Amino acid sequence: MSAVVSPTIARLGARSVFGRRRGVLLFILPLVLVGLAVLVRALVGEDLTATSDTLYGLGLAVIVPLVALLATTGVLAPEIDDGSISYLLAKPISRHTIVVSKLLVAGACVVLFAAVPMLVAGLVMMADEPDIGVAFALGSLAGGLAYCALFALLSVMTRHAVVVGLVYLLIWEGLLGGLLDGVRWLSVTRWAGAIADEVAGDLALVADLGATYAVVATVVVIVLGTWLTGRRLRGFNLTGDE
Amino acid sequence: MSTITLDHVSRWYRNVVAVNDVSMTIGPGVTGLLGPNGAGKSTLIALMSGFLAPSAGTVTLDGDPLWRNQAVYRTIGLVPEREALFDYLTGRQFVVANAELHGLPDPGAAAQASIALVEMSDAQDRVISTYSKGMRQRIKMASSLVHDPAVLLLDEPFNGMDPRQRMHLMDLLRRMGGEGRTVLFSSHILEEVEQVARQIEVVVAGRHAASGDFGAIRRLMTDRPNRFVLRTSDDRTMASVLLTDPSVRGARLRSEGGIELEASDFGRFSEVLPRLAREHGVRLLEVTPTDESLESVFAYLVSA
């Protein structure tokens, strides 16, 4: 079978994400973002610094990776945990098709629960400059997809993907990213910031990081992460309870 | 007609050996994989279904390697032991999804046929989370049969089934075997295996301990010294009388009462025991075989 995407796997994946209690969080996160945007607008008025601080500090750095983490682990981890992924694997389907189909669902979640809410929040805070919202939406999309690929790889490598993902976000993207300047070269959130920077003109979110580098790095992570996940799934050891 | 061949296959996890130098050929008809819990049956089935790489040796299906070869799933149907299913789907949705994943031209019709085969048509529109263990087992069967595979692998399929469901599944497996499919199922219960399987492969502690039809395995298991504990109205007399018969290899009076006895010829012993007791006016109060557990049978098989 040469199809890149299997509608059946995507359909099952979507039900897996929203069929669990964790799926509710996907709806809450964007509400928090938009709610805060309304609050900022009411308290500060239309202010570029406040807008970009909110959209970067809360949106790109927190909401986007969390949505990606919830969606990606929701679509992959439960099946690996309980072994029901064997029903997908015991089929004459390319492992890459399985991964791409599942990532498509996670990607749709990123659009719906991260990129669109970022656009809305941007428009709420800077109604006169829609470019800002669009820029952050595009940054969210790029960053969100990269995070999805990264967390997919994590899901097939460890049974504690959610915890490891959170630790990675806190320590690497959060703590070290704030302390060490060099981390920007290897930080998905900062690449997303650089892309938003480029689209909006001059937001000065991330210093000394070219947009070209950010785009290339993001694409590399998406492609490599997806491919490695499929490769790992191809040699997936699944044993009984013995 | 398909054949799975294991050629000097070993599988170890770090320093634990789960399967040790096993060679066997699984051909058309029903084969039972018999062994106590923890013998390596699930590991063998994982190896045969391409879900585990052998640490040494080769596992092939009609000459093609099973590991990292997703094309084999056109030929193989797998019923895993684990209970987990897509609980949020109905039985029918689950089987249809499996049919779609196989790329069948008419997934709906294939699913219906498969569901009817396992007699789940009535419950097919219920959500899987409401199913009993036996129903789960049957819907798993339906999902693995949906593409009409030449090879069917089942890991402990009778676990948790009530007697009626067990009979039905046995019937189904016999039919599959009769149609020329290669059917392999694992079990730790000899009676289960011998009711269905034409060929039995016995594994113990990761080793291939015996192979043959159930008659051969039965003989291996019964033509061996049997141990019993007897309680009688006169242990001392009974023990001395029994020792005069060639079917008895040894007898020992136990300090807590009763006789510990080893019989070498079970058939003759079972005939001689009541006769000798009657002739000498001894009443038999209790005759308990002490090593009838499967583990002791296997232990004997391995040392034989």
pLDDT tens across B161-203, in order? 888 888 989 999 999 999 999 999 999 887 788 889 989 999 9
Cβ within 8 Å, pair B71-A92? yes
Query: Model-level pTM?
Result: 0.82
Cβ within 8 Å, pair A240-B52? no
Maximum CA extent, chain B: 77
The per-residue b/e assignment along B81-95, b for 16 or more CB within 10 angstroms, e otherwise, is bbbbbbbbbbbbbbb
In whole angstroms, what is the distance from residue A114 CA to residue A123 CA? 14
Cβ within 8 Å, pair A8-B101? yes
Kindly report, residue by residue over A149-174, the tens digit of the pLDDT: 999 999 999 889 999 999 999 999 98
Each residue's pLDDT tens digit in chain B (304 positions)? 899 999 999 999 888 899 999 999 999 999 999 988 888 999 999 999 999 999 999 999 999 999 989 999 999 999 998 888 888 899 999 999 999 999 999 999 999 999 999 989 999 999 999 998 889 999 999 999 999 999 999 999 988 788 888 898 999 999 999 999 999 999 988 778 888 998 999 998 899 988 888 777 766 666 666 788 899 999 999 999 999 999 898 999 999 999 999 888 777 888 899 999 999 999 999 888 776 545 556 665 655 4
Residue in B301, B38, B33 with CA at minimum distance from that of residue B185: B33
Closest to B46 (Cβ–Cβ): which among A8, A91, A239?
A: A239
Enumerate the residues of chain A whose CB falls inside 8 A of the CB of residue B43.
Answer: 239-240, 242
The predicted structure's pLDDT at residue A1: 46
- How far apart are the CA of A12 and the nearest CA of chain B, in angstroms? 8
Count CA within 13 A, CB hemisphere, residue B145. Answer: 24
Enumerate the residues of chain B whose CB falls inside 8 A of the CB of residue A234.
Answer: 68, 70
H-state helical runs in chain A: 7-18, 22-44, 48-53, 64-82, 86-89, 95-110, 116-125, 130-157, 161-168, 177-179, 188-200, 211-234
Q: What is the mean pLDDT of residues A66-91?
A: 92
- How far apart are the CA of A232 and the nearest CA of chain B, in angstroms? 11
Tokens of A161: 């993907």
Enumerate the residues of chain B whose CB falls inside 8 A of the CB of residue A11.
Answer: 97
